[in-house]
Amino acid sequence: MVLDGVRKALSRFLSGKGDYERAVKEFIRDLQKELIKADVNVRLVLELTKKIRERALEEEPPPGITRREWFINIVYEELSKFFGGDRKPDIKPKKKPWVMLLVGLQGSGKTTTAAKLAYYYKLEGYRVGLVTADTYRPAAYDQLKQLGEQIGVPVYGEPNNKDAVEIARRGVEYFVSRGFDIVIVDTAGRHHREEDLLKEMREIAENIKPDEVVLVIDAAIGQQAHNLAKKFHTATPIGSIIVTKLDGTAKGGGALSAVAVTGATIKFIGTGEKIDELEVFRPPRFVARILGIGDLEGLVEKVRRIKVEFTEKDVEEFLSGRLNMRLVYKQLVSLRKMGPLRKILQMIPGLSLKIPLEIEAGKAEEKIKKWLAIINSMTYEELDKPEIIDRRRTRRIAYGAGVKTEDVRELLKQYEMMKKLSKQLRKRKDLLKKLQLGFKP
Ligand SMILES: Nc1nc2c(ncn2[C@@H]2O[C@H](COP(=O)(O)OP(=O)(O)O)[C@@H](O)[C@H]2O)c(=O)[nH]1
Ligand SMILES: [Mg+2]
């Protein structure tokens, strides 16, 4: 992963004790080192860390949040801005048909990305066609043809024609006349110089009049991505960028920040060779992952889904540190569908680093069944205030549920742990609110 060391630095920062200002200084030094290692431009690094330092020393955290926690928030915000801010890239085609032209240097991942995009949009419900206009490499046609077959997307090509512009035009015509929603045109990009690449782009673009020109950049070029992205961004107003191979290089941070600073939009990132290893690029999400503070948006999404089982009040109660066995019951029921609570909690900033709750995967199902039975044999009073369950009550409940007293005690122990977490969450809630993500869909 890109910028792995940042996560470690943050973890050190969080678990560290002692002087806040010194900890900030140390973290910033670590961050600088990591960013420069990732080939981020030194001037950019200094600007970024200056801002973080200023905010860290000036801002007062809101009530209920420690300075260290607030510092994470500052780092999160500034890094998100650094990688392009939190505007959502416009992924949906604004009209039909939508013609996308892929350009980029040879080997940058165009053909692979063309297929990935086709697959992505196909899953979104669009009818997608691929056109291969790479006439330089003899194998180019077969490569895309094969990928197309793999994902069930038709591919237009003319293996014996050498005129790329002509093929592109006819390919687009072919799919548009058949009512396809999206046509993706793959090109050769057999260039070493940016100027030649942009020239080819203009030539094909004039002929097929694409709705979107997509520049594909290999993350391994690091901060060199800056010039290419800048020229591209000035050359075409309908451009977007995909950065590929983020999985395979330590320079990803450099490439992403270099593109971001030009003002160009990175829409997708490629994170592997497989056809589904393409992600919509959302800087806050990306940064959350780098920092190991979890995926805030994913959290909101999950909470929205929990609401099928959890009423708004339940979630509110849980997040307010008020917990009872009824909530635990609902939690257990939804657990089966949703995956462990731990996963959800992992998505909350800061918590993922120190979460104790774990249910062993294989035994989970069996355990949940037992626990549900136990909760079922509790009285209303016990449900609302499990604290009153003493040894006598424990024995009665175990008997009623047909389990051992240890099982009841174990559930009560889990309950205590959840209760603690839920109390911790109460503090985080302010942080989340501050991040303006809230919990309302
Ligand atoms: N690891 C990794 N490899 C990729 C990614 N995208 C493309 N590749 C590989 O990069 C190489 C060149 O890709 P290709 O699509 O043929 O590049 P093109 O010359 O621009 O069309 C191939 O081996 C791909 O499998 C990516 O996101 N991650
Ligand atoms: Mg290719």
Q: Is 252 in the pocket of ligand 1 (CB under 6 A)?
A: no
Domain ends where: 253, 287, 321?
A: 287
C-alpha 225: how far from chain center: 22
Interior angle at CA 369, CA 367 and CA 373, nearest 5: 115
Does any domain span residue 441?
Answer: no
CATH number, domain with residue 63: 1.20.120.140
CATH number of the domain residue 176 falls in:
3.40.50.300
| Residue 75: closest CA among 19, 12, 125 | 12
Q: Which atom of ligand 1 is nearest to the CA of 277?
A: 27
Indicate which atom in ligand 1 lies nearest the CA of residue 105: 20
Domain-ending residue, one of 228, 263, 287: 287
CA-to-CA dists, residue 387 to 277, 391, 400, angstroms? 48, 11, 19
What's the gap in Å between 327 CA and the centre of ligand 1? 48
* 134 CA closest ligand 1 atom index: 21
Please report whether residue 336 resides in a domain.
yes
Instruction: Assess whether pLDDT exceeds 60 at residue 159.
Output: yes
To the nearest 10°, report the CA torsion of 216, 220, 224, 227: 0
Angle at alpha carbon of residue 238, lines to 237 and 240, rounded to 5°:
110
Residue 250 · residue 277 · CB < 8 Å: no
Flag whether 90 is in a domain.
no
Residues with CB under 5 A from ligand 2 (ion): 110-111
The reply to whether ligand 1 has any atom less than 6 angstroms from the CB of 107 is yes
pLDDT band at 138 (very low <50, low <70, confident <90, very high): confident
Residue 440 lies in a domain: no
pLDDT digits (tens, 9 = 90+) for 328-376: 776 666 555 545 455 555 554 444 433 333 444 445 567 777 888 888 8
Say if residue 110 is in the same domain as residue 62: no
Q: Looking at the predicted structure, is the pLDDT value of residue 436 above 60?
A: no
Strand boundaries in 188-326, DSSP class E: 212-218, 239-244, 266-270, 278-280
21 Cβ below 6 A of ligand 1:
no
Residue 273: which residues within 8 A CB-CB, separation 6 or more?
112
Q: Identify which of 112, 187, 269 to mutate to test ligand 1's pocket (most ligand atoms within 8 A of the CB).
A: 112
Pair 238, 187 in one domain: yes
| Cβ(245) – ligand 1 distance below 6 Å | yes
Atom of ligand 1 nearest to the CA of 216: 20
Q: In what order do the strands lie in the sheet with 155-156?
A: 155-156, 128-133, 182-187, 98-103, 212-218, 239-244, 266-270, 278-280
- Give the pLDDT band (50/70/90) at residue 431: low
Question: Using one digit for the tens of pLDDT, what is the confidence trace for 276-319?
Answer: 889 999 898 888 778 776 554 444 444 444 433 445 566 666 66
Tokens 């805030």 belong to 296
Q: Domain limits at 142?
A: 98-287
* Contact (Cβ atoms closer than 8 angstroms) between residue 104 and residue 217: yes
Does the beta carbon of 5 sit less than 6 angstroms from any atom of ligand 1? no
Do 264 and 370 belong to one domain?
Answer: no
CA nearest to 386, candidates 403, 365, 402, 408 = 408
Q: Is 279 in the pocket of ligand 1 (CB under 6 A)?
A: no
Tally the residues of the chain: 441
Q: Are strands 266-270 and 182-187 parallel, antiparallel or unpaired?
A: unpaired
Q: Residue 369 belongs to what H/E stretch?
A: helix 361-376
Residues 51, 31: Cα–Cα separation, whole Å: 13
Q: CA 308, CA 362: separation in Å to the nearest integer? A: 25
The CA distance from 340 to 319, in Å, is: 17
Q: Identify the pLDDT of residue 118.
A: 94
122 and 246 share one domain = yes
132 lines ligand 1 (CB under 6 A): no
Assigned domain for 381 exists: yes
pLDDT of residue 299: 45
**C-beta of residue 251 within 8 angstroms of C-beta of residue 39:** yes
186 and 242 inside one domain: yes
Look at residues 244, 260, 287 and tell me which one is the last residue of a structural domain. Answer: 287
Confidence check: pLDDT of 415 > 60: yes
The number of CA neighbours under 13 Å toward the Cβ of 389 is: 28
The rounded Å distance from CA 430 to ligand 2 centre is 49
The protein residue with its alpha carbon nearest to ligand 1, atom 4, reads 273
Task: Output phi, psi for 242, to 5 deg.
Answer: -120, 125
Domains held by the chain: number: 3
Our answer on whether the CB atom of 106 is closer than 6 Å to any ligand 1 atom is yes
Q: Does 103 share its domain with 239?
A: yes
Stated pTM of the model: 0.70
Q: Are residues 77 and 112 in the same domain?
A: no
Same domain, 178 and 282: yes
- Same domain, residue pair 135 and 271: yes
Residue nearest to atom 26 of ligand 1 (CA): 245
* Residue 56 amino acid letter: A
264 vs 270: CA distance, rounded Å: 17
Q: If you take atom 3 of ligand 1, which residue's CA is the nearest one?
A: 273
Q: Which positions ≥6 away from 395 have C-beta within 8 Å?
A: 405
Does 236 share its domain with 366? no
pLDDT per residue as tens digits for the range 70-85:
888 889 889 999 999 9
User: What CATH number is attached to the domain comprising 415?
Assistant: 1.10.260.30
Query: Is there an atom of ligand 1 within 6 Å of 270 CB?
Result: yes
Alpha helices in 86-193 (DSSP H): 110-123, 140-151, 164-177
- 50: CA distance to ligand 1 center in Å? 37
Residue 302, domain member (yes or no): yes
Asked whether residue 93 is assigned to any structural domain, the reply reads no
Give the angle 334-337-338 at the CA atoms, nearest 5°.
Answer: 80
| 184 three-class SS | strand
How far is ligand 1, taken at its centre, from the CA of residue 107, in Å? 6
Q: Is the CB of 276 under 6 A from ligand 1?
A: no
